[in-house]
Amino acid sequence: MENVFDYEDIQLIPAKCVVNSRSECDTSITFGGRKFKLPVVPANMQTIIDETIALKLAEEGYFYIMHRFQPEKRLDFVKDMQERGLYASISVGVKEEEYRFIEELATNNLTPEYITIDIAHGHSNAVIEMIQHIKKTLPGSFVIAGNVGTPEAVRELENAGADATKVGIGPGKVCITKIKTGFGTGGWQLAALRWCAKAASKPIIADGGIRTHGDIAKSVRFGASMVMIGSLFAGHEESPGETVERDGKLYKEYFGSASEFQKGERKNVEGKKMLVEHRGSLKDTLIEMEQDLQSSISYAGGKTLDAIRNVDYVIVKNSIFNGDKVY
């Protein structure tokens, strides 16, 4: 690969403005046949999303992916969302019981509009076989598969039937995969996204490493249709993580899906827990994200997200760890 860089190493270059107000810029995206207000999805993690937030996001026209860590609630969740006339978007793993769950959905005539196969090392036969099982059993579901970090993986999962792939191994804020295994896209997630996007024939979700709203525009520039974000969504009053007070200041807990806090045991731990500053309501952040992205579109010289996809850029430096502390 020629150039290796990450979000903090890139600046996009402005083009002549064609709008009189940023409010003219449209941040919406069509993904899996539905139109959403933003190309952004909160991470499918237990301290980021719950049923209440999922419902709110669907009602308000945002994309969501429910996590898979309370498996027994998923069937009723799908039923409930669809009874309300909303789309259902859930996650699954690859273990034997997940095959039975997919069959149970079919037996109950429930087809979730979106199913995300969510495992750490998505370039595997386990994911390929699960894609094929879902496509055979629930052909109407839009299948997102991941996570991966190479063009070969994107192509293989697409060829197996995935409708979109999720790119990002190790760039997450509570991720310690890069430290514990030496592998991943941590420190060069944006370049990995570009590398994968060049090979992709279907949409890509850029997952992990977003630290500022400007990183959303950069992800779009380098090939993302959607951007999955954890840490920036962790600190809201609605966030499911515990609220903690330290020296008179409020924080929210944010932990990795492969942390001992999620797993309940210290085996193959590749995630950690941290405290994130409390930052008000989720709605306000989504509005600010939209305004910032409207501004990005205006700097790109257009009126829609597509304008961002073609702007020039410069590489300003290169560093690892995305500004995060090692532990």
Ligand X SMILES: Nc1nc2c(ncn2[C@@H]2O[C@H](COP(=O)(O)O)[C@@H](O)[C@H]2O)c(=O)[nH]1
Ligand Y SMILES: NC(=O)C1=CN([C@@H]2O[C@H](COP(=O)(O)OP(=O)(O)OC[C@H]3O[C@@H](n4cnc5c(N)ncnc54)[C@H](OP(=O)(O)O)[C@@H]3O)[C@@H](O)[C@H]2O)C=CC1
- Give catalytic status of residue 25 as yes or no: no
Residue 119 interface partner, choices ligand Y, ligand X, none, CB cut-off 5-8 Å depending on type: ligand Y
Helix (H) or strand (E) holding 184: none
Kindly tell me which residue out of 45, 65, 193, 297 binds ligand X, with binding defined by CB under 6 A: 45
With binding defined as CB under 6 A, does residue 110 bind ligand X?
Answer: no
Q: Which of 17, 25, 175, 196 is catalytic?
A: 175
Residue 164 phi, psi dihedral angles, 5° rounding? -160, 155
Kindly tell me which residue out of 268, 281, 310, 319 binds ligand Y, with binding defined by CB under 6 A: 268
Residue 305 phi, psi dihedral angles, 5° rounding? -55, -30
Subset of 138-177 contacting ligand X (CB under 6 A): 147, 168, 170, 172-175, 177
Subset of 78-97 contacting ligand Y (CB under 6 A): 93-95
Token pair listed for 209: 């490493």
In the chain, the amino acid numbered 79 is K
Token pair listed for 14: 């402005």
Kindly tell me which residue out of 73, 121, 278, 303 binds ligand Y, with binding defined by CB under 6 A: 121
Residue 43 interface partner, choices ligand X, ligand Y, none, CB cut-off 5-8 Å depending on type: ligand X
Residue 116 interface partner, choices ligand Y, ligand X, none, CB cut-off 5-8 Å depending on type: none
- Is residue 159 within 8 A of residue 145, CB to CB? The reply is no
Own/partner pairs, 181-186, CB within 8 angstroms, 24+ separation: 181/270, 184/149, 185/149, 185/209, 186/320, 186/321, 186/322
Residue 229 interface partner, choices ligand Y, ligand X, none, CB cut-off 5-8 Å depending on type: ligand X
- Is residue 87 within 8 A of residue 55, CB to CB? The reply is no
Q: Is 180 exposed, middle or buried (0-12, 13-18, 19+ CB in 10 A)?
A: middle
Q: Give 142's strand partners.
A: 114
Distance in angstroms (rounded) separating the CA atoms of residues 327 and 325: 5
Residue 113 half-sphere exposure toward CB, CA atoms < 13 A? 17
Spell out the residues 6+ positions from residue 110 whose beta carbon is closer than 8 angstroms to its own: 75, 78, 79, 82, 88
Alpha helices in 5-73, H assignment, sequence order: 51-60
Subset of 219-238 contacting ligand X (CB under 6 A): 228-231
| Cis peptide preceding 3, ω within 30 of 0 | no
Q: Which is nearer to ligand X, 56 or 180 (CB)?
A: 180
Sign of CA dihedral 30, 35, 40, 43: negative
Q: Which is nearer to ligand Y, 92 or 289 (CB)?
A: 92
Token pair listed for 84: 């309300």
149 labeled part of a ligand binding site: no
With binding defined as CB under 6 A, does residue 192 bind ligand X?
Answer: no
Residue 228 interface partner, choices ligand Y, ligand X, none, CB cut-off 5-8 Å depending on type: ligand X
With binding defined as CB under 6 A, does residue 147 bind ligand Y?
Answer: yes
By rule CB under 6 A, what string of x and - marks binding of each residue 171-190 to ligand Y?
-x--x-x-------------
With binding defined as CB under 6 A, does residue 187 bind ligand X?
Answer: no
DSSP 84: T
Q: Which is nearer to ligand X, 45 or 130 (CB)?
A: 45
Residue 268 interface partner, choices ligand Y, ligand X, none, CB cut-off 5-8 Å depending on type: ligand Y
Residue numbers at the binding site for ligand Y (CB under 6 A): 93-95, 118-121, 126, 147, 168-170, 172, 175, 177, 208, 257-258, 268, 270
Q: Which residues are annotated as a binding site for NADP(+)?
A: 204-227
List contacts with ligand X (CB under 6 A): 43, 45, 147, 168, 170, 172-175, 177, 207-210, 228-231, 256-259, 270-271
Kindly list the catalytic residues.
175
